[in-house]
Amino acid sequence: MGDKGQDKIPTSKVQRAAKIIGTSAKVGGNYLKYYAKKTVNPQLSKDTLHQDNAKDIYASLSELKGSALKVAQMMSMDNQVLPQAYQDKFSMAQFNAPPLSYPLIFKTFKKHFNQSPDKIFDTFSREALNAASIGQVHKASLGGKELAVKIQYPGVGNAISSDLKLVKPLASRLFNMKSADINLYMDEVESKLIEETDYALELTRSEEIAASCAHLPGLIFPRFYPEFSSGQILTMDWLEGVPFSTFTKETHTQEVRNKIGQALWDFFLFQMRDLHKVHADPHPGNFLITPDYQIGVLDFGCVKEIPEDFAYYYFQLLHPDILQNETQLNHIYTKMDFFRPEDKPKDRELLKTVYQSLISLLARPFHSDSFDFGDDTYFKEIFEVGERFSKDKTLRGLNNARGSRHAIYVMRTFFGLYNLLNHLKANVQLNYPLYPAQLPALES
358's CB contacts (< 8 A; 6+ apart) are 385
Predicted pLDDT of residue 78: 44
pLDDT of 433 over the 70 cut: yes
Predicted pLDDT of residue 209: 94
- Asked if 137 and 260 sit in the same domain, the reply is no
Least confident of 111-125, 169-183, 312-326: 169-183
∠ CA 177-178-183, nearest 5°, is 90
Query: By three-state DSSP, how is residue 395 classified?
Result: helix
For 148, phi and psi rounded to 5 degrees?
-105, 130
CATH classification of the domain holding 106: 3.30.200
Of 30 and 409, the one with more pLDDT: 409
Predicted pLDDT of residue 411: 83
Of 407 and 185, the one with more pLDDT: 407
Mean local confidence (pLDDT), 66-76: 50
CA atoms of 86 and 83, how far apart (whole Å) = 6
Predicted pLDDT of residue 191: 81
Percentage of the chain surpassing pLDDT 70? 68
Asked if residue 33 is part of any domain, the answer here is yes
Asked if residue 182 is part of any domain, the answer here is no
Predicted pLDDT of residue 195: 86
- Asked if 309 and 335 sit in the same domain, the reply is yes
Asked if residue 28 is part of any domain, the answer here is yes
Asked if residue 188 is part of any domain, the answer here is no
123's CB contacts (< 8 A; 6+ apart) are 139, 140, 141
Predicted pLDDT of residue 18: 47
Per-position b or e across 265-281, b if 16+ CB within 10 A of its CB: bbbbbbbbbeeebbbbb
pLDDT of 94 over the 60 cut: no
Predicted pLDDT of residue 338: 86
**Nearest CA among 324, 330, 244 for reference residue 287:** 244
**Nearest CA among 380, 383, 391, 332 for reference residue 356:** 332
Mean local confidence (pLDDT), 123-130: 90
pLDDT of 87 over the 50 cut: no
419's CB contacts (< 8 A; 6+ apart) are 77, 282, 379
Asked if residue 180 is part of any domain, the answer here is no
SS3 per-residue string spanning 168-228: HHHHHHHHCCCCCCHHHHHHHHHHHHHHHCCHHHHHHHHHHHHHHCCCCCCEECCCECHHH
- 227 in Cβ contact with 237 (< 8 Å): no
pLDDT of 69 over the 60 cut: no
Predicted pLDDT of residue 178: 63
User: How long, in residues, is the chain?
Assistant: 444
Asked if residue 193 is part of any domain, the answer here is no
Mean local confidence (pLDDT), 107-131: 91
Helices 345-363 and 376-390 pack at an angle, to 10 degrees, of 160
Predicted pLDDT of residue 427: 97
CA atoms of 153 and 64, how far apart (whole Å) = 10
Of 395 and 68, the one with more pLDDT: 395
pLDDT bin (cut points 50, 70, 90) of residue 81 is: very low
Predicted pLDDT of residue 14: 44
Domain that holds residue 267: 243-444
CA atoms of 29 and 53, how far apart (whole Å) = 10
Asked if residue 190 is part of any domain, the answer here is no
What's the mean pLDDT when you consider all of the chain?
Answer: 78
pLDDT bin (cut points 50, 70, 90) of residue 182 is: low
Domain count, the chain: 3
Predicted pLDDT of residue 432: 82
- Asked if 436 and 294 sit in the same domain, the reply is yes
